[in-house]
Amino acid sequence: MTLTVTILGATGSIGRSTTDLLAQHGERFRVGAVVGGKDAAALAKLARETGASFAALADESAGPALREALSGSGIAHGAGESAVLDAVGRDADIVVAAISGAAGLKPTHAALRLGRTVALANKESLVCAGDAFMRDAKRYDAKLLPVDSEHNALAQALGEGLVSDVAKMTITASGGPFRTWARERIEAASPAEAAAHPTWSMGMKINIDSASLMNKGLELIEAHHLFSIEPERLDVIVHPQSIVHGLVYWLDGAVTAGLAMPDMRVPIAHCLGLGDRLTIARGRPLDLAAAGSLTFEAADEARFPCLRIARAALSEGGAAPTVMNAANEIAVAAFIAGRIPFYGIADLVERACTRFAATYASAPADVDEALAIDAHVRAWSAEALPVSRAAE
């Protein structure tokens, strides 16, 4: 049986890893629709290579360029939100949801409402609207499969076990490029230094979230919803080798860990296999003797305050994670643009969380409400930014 796969965020790192796997197992999968952001040339090339039947760009202004790039291919295409939702609505057995940021909420939720199997790489869906997503997944009989390496490792380590038998779940962090840096040096870091992730090849925004450890905070919130586990039973540990991805601590003292080489094709293959194991060509097998040693250390929330802020948002609940994510996306963009220093990210996010704590005390009832909160917080955060570093 051939399974049809739709890829949201097809031109990003997760999308590229997904298409690599699909190409290796062409007898098992076909690509239905591919969705990108605004890079018409990259999406058109991918659509042609994968034999996709439909291609869509989120940026409506890029529609003419996509039309030209796909000329003569016979591949249907479109641009703008309606085209993206059209892509989601086409027949698919698995939807890989890999659009980065809050922009992924609507299309990911649309797939969920259709009862699809969703391989979830867009953690912001659960950060911004976790209660609504998990409720609707159950309502529409959709299946959420975690693509993030940490959550995929936790799911495999948990197996058929019960969360009620779990003492704690721990996700690992590489520590990012600033793991050994003093606070003073981190404070003066450039966007290029923050984006130089030591292990993973990801987009600029995710790399910077990894440098601040905000990414781990987002992943704690994601784990809370995926596994229905309380915040106090979730933890982060720094593991520079990025070989252990998640650990399940059982009530009897046993610990089950998920290990793999740092290759996103591993968790993606686990999701695409739907219970079967897929081989990965050109994959590097884990050789513990060659690795030599695996080291672990506590996460330093003094040097990485974004993790502390995210933990607080998770504990507070309600719309606090929604607010935090919106402010963080604005703050990271401002840091990349040189408008604020690295620690300005945590400062802006914390101010936003304090500012909106009373305004948005309840969790968003649905995706539309989450996006409305997101828009409000983004507008406030943009206004709260300095005009320029020189004007500070």
Q: What sign has the CA pseudo-torsion 306, 204, 124, 21?
A: negative
Domain residue extents for the chain: 3-147
Work out the percent of the chain whose per-residue pLDDT is above 70: 98
For the segment 236-261, the average pLDDT, to the nearest whole number, is 97
* β-pair partners for 234: 169
Asked if residue 388 has pLDDT above 70, the reply is no
Topology, domain 3-147: Rossmann fold (3.40.50)
d(CA 341, CA 325): 18
d(CA 269, CA 58): 26
User: Would you say 144 and 132 are in contact if contact means Cβ atoms under 8 Å apart?
Assistant: no
Please provide the distance, in angstroms rounded to a whole number, between the alpha carbons at the two ends of the chain.
61
Alpha-carbon separation of residue 260 from 156, 277, 298 (angstroms): 12, 14, 21
Q: What is the pLDDT of residues 310-328, one digit of tens each?
A: 999 999 999 999 999 999 9
User: How long a stretch of residues is the chain?
Assistant: 392
State if pTM tops 0.75: yes
DSSP state for residue 142 in the 8-state scheme: -
Q: What is the pLDDT of residues 28-69, one digit of tens each?
A: 999 999 999 999 999 999 999 999 999 999 999 999 999 999
